Amino acid sequence: MLIERIWVGNPGRNFNYLVACEATGNALAVDPFDAGQVLAAATRRGWRITQIVNTHEHGDHTAGNAGVVAATGASVLAHPRAVARIGSVDREVGQGDRIAVGSSVHLEVLATPGHTPAHICLPNGDALFTGDTLFNAGVGNCRKGGDAASLYETFATVIAALPDSLRIYPGHEYLRRNLTFAVDREPGNARAHRILERIENIEGASAPVLTLGDEREINVFLRVDSPEVAAGVAAASGCTRASAQEVFLALRQLKDRCRRDARASKFSRAAKRGRGQHAGRVTHCRFVHIGDGNRAERRLHHSDALAARLGSVASVVGRRVQYGPTHR
C-alpha cells in the first residue's frame, strides 16, 4: 500500500490522502477537501483515482468530491447516515465492510461514532485513517451533531482493540496545540514534553506520523486511567474518584472551553489594541467541573484589574479568574 499525505495549508489545517495499489496504480482519495491538490498529487505519482471515501459528512472532508469525480469518474463511498448530507454517494459502507483498492490493498471499515454518528475509520495493515475521531495528541469535538459519550465508547471499545503499530493519519494537523493541552493535564508526562519540544518549529507539512502506541503514551484522552490525569479531574469535580468515562467527558468539556477561551482572548486583545490597552492572553484552562459544566478556573496572564473588567460573571481570586454559571 502506498500513501500520499497532502497538506492542504488551509486555516482548518486539513490533511487529504491518496491510498494506492502499487501493482495497478489505482488510488483511493480519503476526505478530499481540495480537489486540485488531490488531482495534482495523483498525476505526479502516476496514479488513477477510482474511488473516494469520506470518513464523515462535514464539508471540510467532502468539498473536493465533486471536482475529483468530474475529473476522474471516481465512485464515492460513505456511511449510510452520511449520505443525505454528502449527496451523490455510490456505495454505502459500514462496520465490517471492506474497500478494495486495485489488486493488493484492502481497507477495513470501522464504525466510530462520536464526532458524528456517521463517522468511520479505516485500518489496513500498519495504517489507520482516523478522520476527525483521533488526532495526534487529541480527539475530535462533538459540537456539530456529535455525542461525547459515544466518542468515549468508540475509544473504549473500537480504538482500544487496535494494535500499537498502526500509523495514524488524521484529518487535521493539531499536534502542537493538542500537546500543549495534554502536558497541562498531565505535567509529569515526560514523553509528551519531549515531543512538544521537538516539534516547536515544525509546521503542518512536516508534522511527524505517529503510531497508535505513541498516542497511548502522549494523548491525554487515551490516558484516562493515568493516576495524574484522573486525580486532577476527580479533584476538580469534588469527587474522591472519577470513572474512566467521567474523566474522558471532563477532558472533552475542558478542551472545548479552552478553545472558546482562546478565541475570546484573541478577540479581546484585538479590541484592547484598538483602545491602546493590553488585553493579556489565556495560557491554559486549569480545571473543569463535572456535571453541569458551569464552572471552570482559568489561569490568566493579564492583571487582576483587567480580569475584573472582562465581565460581571468573573470574580478574581489572586491571579485566577473563576467564572460563574452564566459563562458558557
- Distance from C-alpha of 169 to C-alpha of 127, rounded to nearest angstrom: 7
Three cell numbers at 1?
Answer: 500500500
Q: Is-catalytic flag, 172?
A: yes
Residue with cell 515526560: 190
Annotated active-site residue in 31, 34, 61, 327 = 61
Of the candidates 31, 34, 79, 115, the residue annotated as catalytic is: 115
How far apart are the C-alpha atoms of 250 and 292, rounded to whole Å?
Answer: 11
Active-site residue, 289 included: no
Annotation says 132 is catalytic: yes
Quote the cell numbers at residue 41. Answer: 498529487
**SS3 labels along 63-107:** CCHHHHHHHHCCEEEECHHHHHHHCCCCEECCCCCEEEECCCEEE
Determine whether 189 is exposed, middle or buried from the number of CB atoms within 10 Å of its CB (0-12, 13-18, 19+).
Answer: buried
Q: Is 115 a catalytic residue?
A: yes
Is residue 289 within 8 Å of 318, Cβ to Cβ?
no
Distance from C-alpha of 107 to C-alpha of 19, rounded to nearest angstrom: 10
Residue 119 among the catalytic residues: no
- Which of 34, 132, 214, 261 is catalytic? The answer is 132
* Distance from C-alpha of 305 to C-alpha of 303, rounded to nearest angstrom: 5
Q: With helix as H, strand as E and coil as C, how does 16-55 read?
A: EEEEECCCCCEEEEECCCCHHHHHHHHHHHCCEEEEEECC
Would you call 327 a catalytic residue per the annotation?
Answer: no
- To which H or E segment does residue 192 belong? helix 190-198
Choice among 34, 58, 119, 327 that is catalytic: 58
Query: Which residue among 31, 34, 60, 261 is the active-site one?
Result: 60
Question: Among 34, 56, 214, 327, which one carries the catalytic annotation?
Answer: 56
CA distances from 297 to 105, 267, 306, 314, 318 (A): 49, 20, 16, 10, 12
Q: Of these residues, 119, 172, 302, 327, which one is catalytic?
A: 172
Kindly list the catalytic residues: 56, 58, 60-61, 115, 132, 172
